[in-house]
């Protein structure tokens, strides 16, 4: 059922991300079918990151010489690290959302729903140790979440 709904390789990436998250001391989320996509934003973010982001940014957001890190301290710095092409300043979660929606996924930018973009931004900001608060991240509070 999962392969038919989402495509076999995407499912594997999502499940890998869930398992990686649990190995890193984060809450464990088990997804057994397409109908079991978690309701809470962080857990959905684990799953969606695995589907749409991990192939470029790495299973843990570590990046590489061609792709920036989006996890850990220092990720999402206000100015782009030297040598990167980003020209946008990241001051708030809304800035990150706008950039990600415009530029990601790299081969198909702008193709995901706003909910998916907000969910992935919430997940990656938490992985980068940015306090996004207790409420789900979205257009209502994205400008209020300061990155540093």
Kindly report, residue by residue over 93-146, the tens digit of the pLDDT.
999 999 999 999 989 999 999 999 999 999 999 988 899 988 899 999 999 999
For residues 94 and 25, give the distance between their C-alpha atoms in angstroms, rounded to a whole number: 27
Q: Is the pLDDT of residue 1 over 60?
A: no
Contact (CB, 8 A) for 121 and 97? yes
Q: Which of 11, 63, 67, 21 is nearest to 45 (CA)?
A: 21
Q: Is the pLDDT of residue 11 over 90?
A: no
Domains and CATH numbers, the chain: 2-127 (1.10.760.10)
CA dihedral sign of residues 44, 80, 100, 14: negative
Compute the C-alpha angle 24/1/37, nearest 5°. 40
Q: Quick: pLDDT tens for 42-84.
A: 889 999 999 999 999 999 888 888 888 888 777 888 777 677 7
């Amino acid at each position: 059922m999962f392969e038919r709904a989402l495509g076999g390789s995407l499912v594997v990436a999502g499940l890998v991300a869930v398992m990686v998250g649990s190995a890193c001391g984060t809450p464990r989320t088990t997804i057994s079918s397409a109908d079991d996509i978690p309701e809470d934003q962080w857990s959905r973010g684990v799953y969606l990151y695995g589907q749409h982001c991990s192939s470029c940014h790495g299973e843990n957001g570590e990046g590489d010489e061609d792709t920036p890190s989006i996890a850990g301290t220092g990720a999402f710095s206000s100015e782009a690290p030297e040598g990167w092409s980003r020209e946008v300043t990241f001051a708030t979660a809304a800035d990150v959302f706008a950039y990600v929606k415009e530029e990601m996924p790299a081969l198909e930018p702008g193709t995901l729903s706003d909910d998916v973009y907000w969910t992935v931004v919430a997940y990656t900001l938490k992985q980068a140790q940015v306090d996004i608060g207790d409420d789900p991240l979205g257009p209502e509070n994205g400008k209020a979440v300061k990155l540093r």
